[in-house]
Amino acid sequence: MRFFPGVITRNWQLKLSALAMAILLWTVPEFEAQSSQELENVPVRVQLTDPQWATVGEPLPPTIKVTLAGPTRALMALRADRPSIVVPVDQVSSADTAILLLPAWLRTSVSDEITVEDLVPSSVNLSFEPMDVDVVSLRARLTGELPSGLSLVRRPEIVPAFVRVSGPSSRVGELASVSLTPLDLSEVRSSGTFVRPVDTANLSGMALSPEQASVEIEVEETLTKSFEGVPVRLPNLASGPQLQARPSTVTVVLSGATSLVESFDPAQLRITVSGTVATALVPGEEVRATLSVEGPPVVTQATLDPEWVLLRRPTGL
């Protein structure tokens, strides 16, 4: 009763190795046998080296069906290594071109063992457009706010102010400006130069020079100053009676860089009401009108006290 178990377990490692070898010898011919396979949706890509042209969109059609022949082992490997058709274009002769696909353009890691039997469709249509070069302005992107107690002396200056852009003519023509990557003002502690790269997130396929620029920031301590008794300017109506405002003067509170606020002349202030509201009033009517201020330096902040007046058109001349 114990004979058969002993026969089975004796030299079990050697017997297991022999079994594995037998399985391998049985399966190798299967993997090396020649077979064919159809692959759907194989992408078609364009490798353009003509510097005077750029591709427009994808090839038409963007994918094709490829029939391949080769060892089963190699064909099975394509499941993990999907092939593609790469169309080389060294020189563009026409904006719209039909190109016959060649089997040699198949790209895959096992291409030496694979034969291309058929390509469906056998050609694709490619579209190109001329390359263009232009110079556009650079624009700083500022986020956050300066730390408390600091204000800008002037608008940030970008050096250089322009960037050279080359790319497809249709895309280059659409560019009015190019932005730098954001600069967080909350990280600014003093005046200085901050180097920022050009934001290329939406500029794929385009070349830019330079690829970065400096943002020069000048700041000072913040000063707040009030200018009282600034008159409200009312529009002159074509016919009487003319408008009246209550109150007729306001206080302007100006906040900004110390040098700007200290040297500011309040005579430059212009307090106005909406012309649309003013001209719509008829004699005997009054309305609450919001005020606007003009004249303060662009990097300062001006608030009004009060922010509105009671606008009235009397009945008499």
In sequence order, what are the residues at sequence separation of 6 or more whose Cβ sits closer than 8 angstroms to the Cβ of residue 75? 35, 36, 37, 68, 114
Structure tokens at 263: 């040297």
Determine the number of helices (DSSP H) and then strands (DSSP E) in the chain.
6, 24
Phi-psi region of 11 (alpha: psi -120 to 50; beta: other; left: phi over 0): left
Task: Quote the CA–CA distance of 97 and 126 in Å, as a whole number.
Answer: 5
Return the pLDDT at 15.
56
pLDDT tens digit sequence for 104-163: 999 887 667 788 899 999 999 999 999 999 999 999 999 999 999 999 999 999 999 999
Task: Quote the CA–CA distance of 170 and 130 in Å, as a whole number.
Answer: 9
Mean pLDDT, rounded, for 237-255: 92
| 187: Cα within 13 Å, side-chain hemisphere | 7
* Cβ-contact 172, 134 below 8 angstroms: yes
Task: Quote the CA–CA distance of 179 and 184 in Å, as a whole number.
Answer: 14
Nearest to 246 by CA among 293, 294, 288, 285: 288
Beta bridge partners of 150: 221
| CA geometry: angle 225, 228, 231, nearest 5 deg | 130
> What are the chain's domains?
33-130 (2.170.120.30), 140-217 (2.170.120), 223-313 (2.170.120.30)
Q: Which amino acid is at 212?
A: Q
Helix (H, G, I), strand (E, B) or coil at 111: helix
Percent of the chain scoring above 70 in pLDDT: 88
Q: What is the mean pLDDT of the chain?
A: 88
Structure tokens at 118: 């058929």
Q: Which of 135-149, 236-250, 254-268 has the lowest mean pLDDT?
A: 236-250
Task: Quote the CA–CA distance of 145 and 160 in Å, as a whole number.
Answer: 24
pLDDT tens digit sequence for 175-228: 999 999 999 999 999 999 999 999 999 898 889 999 999 999 999 999 999 999
User: What does the DSSP 8-state code read for residue 243?
Assistant: P
Structure tokens at 300: 């300062």
Q: What are phi and psi of 259, to 5 degrees?
A: -65, -35
Nearest to 146 by CA among 202, 82, 189, 93: 189
Return the pLDDT at 233.
94
pLDDT tens digit sequence for 6-26: 555 556 566 565 555 545 444
Nearest to 57 by CA among 110, 127, 112: 127
In sequence order, what are the residues at sequence separation of 6 or more whose Cβ sits closer than 8 angstroms to the Cβ of residue 28? none
* Cβ-contact 237, 243 below 8 angstroms: yes
Which of 20-34, 86-100, 248-262, 271-285 ranks highest by mean pLDDT?
248-262
Task: Quote the CA–CA distance of 298 and 306 in Å, as a whole number.
Answer: 21
Mean pLDDT, rounded, for 273-300: 90
Task: Quote the CA–CA distance of 203 and 25 in Å, as a whole number.
Answer: 56
In sequence order, what are the residues at sequence separation of 6 or more whose Cβ sits closer than 8 angstroms to the Cβ of residue 316? 241
